[in-house]
């Protein structure tokens, strides 16, 4: 993540139950549950030293992408356009030679309105190898953002087994740490009609909170989203709070433009961003798998999946509410 922000996993990894259906009801059939054990395993692979911090354009970044591609093929996720890989070019911050990144996109086609889209995203790059701290120079990025990437994989698997009403595009963005470049490329040249994108749900840093608190930002910018987030918070196994979407008490407290939801918001597309508050591992070598909080992470993945399903089920109402809002709201 681009904003400025220890429990060792020795216990058995958690397996989440099925997402509670919106409005109550029975659990999903056996075998379709979101698996906490699998999400934590994916997180561990992506945050391993062998990935060398996943900096855009590096061999470690390519290894992470190859792992993700293998998972997308194994689950049978539909590609978007000609394939999963969507390359883009960008100018690094501060200038210099043109750089390249590769977004990964897959989808599950909606059962009721396949031409209506939700984009659910997480960035798979991090900051690479850097200044040593306490003898460690690999910035593994377990929470930032292997946590969101692994959660996105697990949600894609779940929606493959439980198809949504709208088409859900799952986007693993590259070069977020270089200035939200993957998300900017997606919004500048979307693979689906921009006017058909109902909203973006973005995850960045969702696995580490000793207080058990996850924030959902976006409803202050897009107020019609608040009732749906309240509904999800009421049944979540973690504390799901709303905030960090206004410049109070200071500009740094507004996360709107500080991760990949920013380009969507700037383009007038509503968003919900899920993330935790700052912790000592932010952009530090100590952001390792050993320091995530497993039980919280399991609950966070389940709550975010529930939010995506709830928003999907209310996509028509969200689209109507957005159409009734003045355009300048997107720039605020």
- The DSSP secondary structure of 144-192, one letter per residue, reads IIIHHHHHHHHHHHHHHHS--SEEEEEEEES-STTTSHHHHHHHHS-SS
Looking at residue 141, its pLDDT comes to: 98
Beta strands in the chain (DSSP E): 78-79, 85-90, 99-108, 113-123, 129-133, 136-138, 166-173, 197-203, 213-217, 239-242, 271-275
Q: Enter the tokens of residue 323.
A: 């159409």
Question: DSSP 3-state assignment of 63?
Answer: helix
Does the structure show a pLDDT above 50 at 12?
A: no
Looking at residue 136, its pLDDT comes to: 95
Confidence class of residue 151 from pLDDT cuts 50, 70 and 90? very high
Q: What does pLDDT average to over the chain?
A: 90
Least confident of 13-17, 105-109, 147-151: 13-17
DSSP H or E segment with residue 142: none
Mean per-residue pLDDT, 300-305: 96
Q: Which residue has the higher pLDDT, 257 or 14?
A: 257
Q: Please tell me the distance from the alpha carbon of residue 107 to that of residue 208, in angstroms, as a whole number.
A: 28
**Taking the model in full, what pTM does it have?**
0.90
Looking at residue 99, its pLDDT comes to: 97
Contact 261, 180 (CB under 8 A): no
Question: DSSP 3-state assignment of 294?
Answer: helix
Looking at residue 249, its pLDDT comes to: 86
Q: Which residue has the higher pLDDT, 71 or 247?
A: 71
**Segment 232-245, tens digit of pLDDT:** 999 999 999 999 99
**Segment 169-217, tens digit of pLDDT:** 999 999 999 999 999 999 999 999 999 999 999 999 999 999 999 999 9
Question: DSSP 3-state assignment of 22?
Answer: coil
Looking at residue 134, its pLDDT comes to: 87
SS (H, E, C) 235-248: HCCCEEEECCCCCC
Q: Please tell me the distance from the alpha carbon of residue 226 to that of residue 11, in angstroms, as a whole number.
A: 36
Residues 2-37 as b/e (b if ≥16 CB within 10 A, e otherwise) read bbebeeebeeebbebebbbbbeeeeebeeeebbbbe
Contact 258, 1 (CB under 8 A): yes
Contact 176, 183 (CB under 8 A): yes
């Amino acid at each position: 993540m681009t904003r400025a922000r220890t429990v060792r996993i020795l216990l058995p990894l958690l397996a989440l139950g099925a997402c509670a259906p919106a409005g109550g009801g029975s659990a999903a059939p056996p075998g379709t549950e979101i698996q906490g054990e699998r999400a934590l395993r994916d997180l561990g692979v992506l945050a391993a030293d062998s990935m060398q911090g996943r900096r855009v354009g590096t061999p470690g970044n390519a290894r992470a992408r190859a792992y993700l591609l293998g998972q997308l093929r194994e689950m049978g996720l539909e590609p978007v356009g000609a394939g999963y890989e969507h390359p883009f070019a960008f100018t690094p911050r501060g200038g210099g030679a043109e750089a390249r990144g590769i977004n990964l996109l897959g989808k599950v086609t909606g059962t009721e309105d396949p031409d209506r889209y939700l984009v659910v995203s997480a960035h798979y790059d991090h900051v690479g190898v850097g200044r040593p701290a306490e003898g460690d120079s690999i910035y593994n990025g377990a929470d930032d953002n292997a946590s969101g990437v692994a959660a996105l994989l697990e949600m894609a698997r779940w929606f493959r087994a439980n198809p949504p009403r709208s088409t859900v595009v799952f986007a693993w963005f590259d070069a977020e740490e270089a200035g939200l470049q993957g998300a900017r490329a997606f919004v500048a040249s979307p693979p689906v009609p921009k006017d058909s994108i109902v909203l973006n749900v973005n995850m960045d840093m969702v696995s580490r909170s000793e207080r058990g608190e996850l924030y959902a930002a976006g409803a202050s910018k897009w107020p019609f989203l608040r009732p749906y987030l309240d509904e999800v918070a009421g049944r979540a196994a973690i504390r799901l709070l709303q905030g960090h979407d206004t410049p109070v008490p200071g500009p740094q407290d507004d996360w709107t433009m500080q991760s990949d939801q920013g380009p969507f918001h700037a383009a007038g597309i509503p968003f919900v961003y899920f993330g935790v508050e700052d912790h000592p591992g932010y952009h530090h070598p100590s952001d390792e798998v050993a320091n995530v909080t497993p039980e919280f992470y399991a609950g966070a993945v389940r709550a975010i999946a529930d939010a995506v399903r709830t928003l999907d089920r209310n996509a028509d109402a969200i689209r109507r509410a957005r159409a009734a809002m003045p355009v300048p709201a997107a720039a605020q």
